Amino acid sequence: MTDLTELTAVQLLDGYRQGEFSPVDATRAALERAERIQPEVNAFVRITADAALARAEQSAERWRRGAPAGLLDGVPVTVKDILLMRGGPTRKGSKTVPEQGRWDEDAPSVARLRAHGAVFLGKTTTPEFGWKGVTDSPLAGVTRNPYDPARTAGGSSGGAGAAVALGAGPLALGTDGGGSVRIPAAFCGIFGMKPTYGRVPLYPASAFGTLAHVGPMTRDAADAALLLDVIGTPDSRDWSALPPAPGSFAAGLSGGVRGLRVAYSPSFGGQVAVRPAVAAAVRRAVERLAGLGAYVEETDPDFTDPVDAFHTLWFTGAARVTQHLGPHQRELLDPGLREICAVGARLTALDYLAAVDVRMELGRRMGRFHDTYDLLVTPTLPITAFEAGAEVPKGSGHRRWTGWTPFTYPFNLTQQPAATVPVGTDGDGLPIGLQLVAARHRDDLVLRAAHTLYEAGIAATAGLTPAGS
């Protein structure tokens, strides 16, 4: 018998179309998986079983009539608890956000999923206000890695990454302000993409401003392209949203990488210490890209680490999101978040504008870089998953999460599309990710190259079975 939790969204839809199984079957399987993994992995803040099954029944009836509501009718999805989803609270991992409220509005991406008939399994975990690259919060506790529960799932979309990897829905919505889709996707062995800024509208606006993107977390690139076709349309509530894409991302996956100009930067010119197992796995994948016809050159983008500018923008955003809190509420915050808020509150407008200048120059440099190269390839992260409940690896010497994510946050500053693809595991069996980056508005190239890696067997479709099942 087919295990429906192992199927991609594309495969589920094909099964509905052929009458092999129904959205109710798929939703029940995903809900059972979500309940099973929750005690050990802690991927969810809320599982909405009754509402999910009701939507699945409605979807099944539409499929029986041969009239599905949209591109994702009946597909189980999860939503990170940063994004509004009507019918329940969005507490963003914080005890300072009250559970009571109207909660009667969907974020734009959630509204698009609803319009296309997707089935919402529940809300997934996040660190408080999505502030760091691992997922633990005073509200929900620690989210753990599907491959080793003693390790972190990454963050800030860690619950989403763990859920997809373990079969609790093939599709998830995450957010990415400095790597928060790509980090957990890499640690959990799934596909994750930060589209060009504005491709997926966001409302309410993030306190972290135009660093923050909404993106798909999926089992492979084909699912992500389908999801982006649904969520990547304008919404009047986001004044910075892009106009509709010129074509379907799913339809543009074919074509391979032959003739593409690929820059391979293994360590940003020696600026990043990459673990040998990570470096070797990424290099093997790049060699396969060359074997598939890409013109690969080992070279580095022309910039130094922009971490100070990123910190200025990030810390001031954190200070802004907590500005309204009184002394008692501040005591409820994650201690690390409280620290960066204090730093951010001391920064001046001139400090902020100086960081904007760095950002603009970085964007100019990467624009020129992509005049020559279609794609930039790097490791997604220089390490694999470390101990759960810690912001940085023990003994690393890093002060903040940005110390071990040097390949991700630069491309939030530049607003470029960037994705992570699983390309192997290390000696402990922990996933390794390869990052693909393209020029702004070339999301299609990132998806096409990633799809080629899956089609060639270089990337593996996620699908773990929990212990004891």
If one counts every other C-beta atom within 10 angstroms of the C-beta of residue 284, the result is 13
Catalytic residue among 180, 194, 206, 265: 180
Catalytic residue among 80, 123, 132, 194: 80
Catalytic residue among 22, 109, 156, 157: 156
Active site residue 180: yes
First-to-final CA distance of the chain: 15
Task: Identify which of 228, 200, 193 has the alpha carbon closest to the alpha carbon of residue 433.
Answer: 193
Distance CA 305, CA 397 (A): 17
Say which residue the tokens 């004044």 belong to. 239
Alpha helices in 293-399 (DSSP H): 307-321, 327-330, 335-346, 349-372
C-alpha angle 341-125-454 in degrees, rounded to nearest 5:
115
Tokens for 95? 């005890």
Active site residue 22: no
Those residues with Cβ within 8 angstroms of residue 182's Cβ, 6 or more apart along the chain or in another chain: 176, 192, 193, 194, 380, 408, 418, 419, 420, 433, 435
C-alpha angle 451-179-106 in degrees, rounded to nearest 5:
85
Active site residue 396: no
Catalytic residue set: 80, 156, 180
